[in-house]
Chains A and B, each alone.
Chain A
Amino acid sequence: EVQLLESGGGLVQPGGSLRLSCAASGFIFSRYAVAWVRQAPGEGLEWVASVTGSGDSTYYADSVKGRFTISRDNSKNTLYLQMNSLGAEDTAVYYCAKAAYSSGGYFDYWGQGILVTVSS
């Protein structure tokens, strides 16, 4: 059974940093791209970033480029999102999502999400 478990969320002050983690199990982690997708309160889904199975390629939404860094450790079956220079607009539930292919693709499994609140 595929499982994705996010951690590391919480309350952070504007301008601060936070690192999210996503522990994956139930599939061969290194064979699939993974991504972060967020959802602001009462809003729709927004793709944030993706990383290929090997970790060689990363992709970012313009809204986070230069502030967020996606990475993965295939030896630990874990995905990360380093978030810097956080602003109120980054307040959201952050979902870890598994893609269907090594290079990307649609999201076939989702974690339960973790809340990040940016506020003073």
Chain B
Amino acid sequence: EIVLTQSPATLSLSPGERATLSCRASQSVSSYLAWHQQKPGQAPRLLIYDVSNRATGIPARFSGSGSGTDFTLTISSLEPEDFAVYYCQQRSNWPITFGQGTRLEIK
């Protein structure tokens, strides 16, 4: 099973600041890495797929990068609605696995 480790567990920032979230895989997932956003009481929403492709309707301030085992989700300038929990997910091998999540909170 591929283990995804996200860091930090919690990130405290202010609106307008840049957020950088990390996801590290226990073995290579090639480019099969996605990011999902989840707000309290809501279902997850796909943000980024295959490392760097934004899903439909996702603003350009969200970007993804990386390859192999190390990946980054960057939010260039935080908006109030961006404070949420973010999960990375790999689809390279079965079982599909998720990271434990990074909570992005308002400072």
Chain A residues proximal to chain B, CB less than 8 Å: 35, 37, 44-47, 50, 59-62, 95, 100, 104-113
Contact A45 B44 (CB under 8 A): yes
Contact B50 A111 (CB under 8 A): no
Q: Does B97 reach chain A (CB closer than 8 Å)?
A: yes
Name the residue on B nearest A47 (C-beta): B96
Q: Which of B44, B49, B55, B89 contacts A95 (CB 8 A)?
A: B44
Q: Which of B32, B42, B89 contacts A107 (CB 8 A)?
A: B89
Most buried by B among A45, A61, A62, A104: A45
Chain B residues proximal to chain A, CB less than 8 Å: 32, 34, 36, 38, 42-46, 49-50, 55, 87, 89, 91, 94-101
Residues of A near B36 (CB, < 8 A) are 45, 107
**Can you list 16 A-B contacts with CB-CB less than 8 angstroms, sorted by A residue number?**
A45-B87, A45-B101, A47-B95, A47-B96, A50-B96, A59-B94, A95-B44, A106-B89, A107-B34, A107-B36, A107-B44, A107-B46, A107-B89, A108-B55, A110-B46, A111-B43
Q: Bound state CA distance, A25 and B81, in angstroms? A: 28
Contact B97 A47 (CB under 8 A): yes
Q: Bound state CA distance, A105 and B96, in angstroms? A: 9
Q: In the assembled complex, how far is the CB of residue A97 from the closest CB belonging to chain B, in whole angstroms?
A: 8
Q: Bound state CA distance, A46 and B99, in angstroms? A: 9
Contact A100 B95 (CB under 8 A): no
Name the residue on A nearest B55 (C-beta): A108
Q: Bound state CA distance, A61 and B101, in angstroms? A: 19
Contact B101 A106 (CB under 8 A): no
Contact B100 A44 (CB under 8 A): yes
Q: Which of B43, B94, B98 contacts A113 (CB 8 A)?
A: B43
Residues of B near A107 (CB, < 8 A) are 34, 36, 44, 46, 89
